[in-house]
Amino acid sequence: MTRLTLVGLTCGALVLTACGELSSEKGVDRGPDSKDLLDLQAGIWVDPNGCDHWIIDDGIEGYLSARLDRNTGKPVCSGIAPPTQTVGNFKGGGTQIIGDPF
């Protein structure tokens, strides 16, 4: 076997190991500071188009999802803050393991 073939097989094996599903439960943080995601506090980040996104900073991980209207499913663009700004205590409930340098 040539080196190139060996490297290709090794890379292929590594790629396939990343394909397995870890868990079907998506509402639980599995990091070193494990907790239910409902224990974290969300804030709102306004994207450059002026639409809202839920944001949570856990200290190690971060979570972001579009804020959608319950009835229509369309993005909410409330004007709560200027574009690219955040409001709310989105770091509340986060870990103190790493912390913020600023």
Res 40: pLDDT? 79
Res 34: pLDDT? 67
In 3D space, the residue among 26, 46, 23, 45 whose CA is nearest the CA of residue 36 turns out to be 26
Pairing of strands 43-46, 52-57: antiparallel
For 47, other C-beta atoms within 10 Å of its C-beta total 14
Rounded to the nearest angstrom, the gap between the alpha carbon of residue 57 and the centroid of all alpha carbons in its chain is: 8
pLDDT along the chain (102 residues), means of 10: 73 62 58 69 92 85 90 95 90 58 47
Res 102: pLDDT? 45
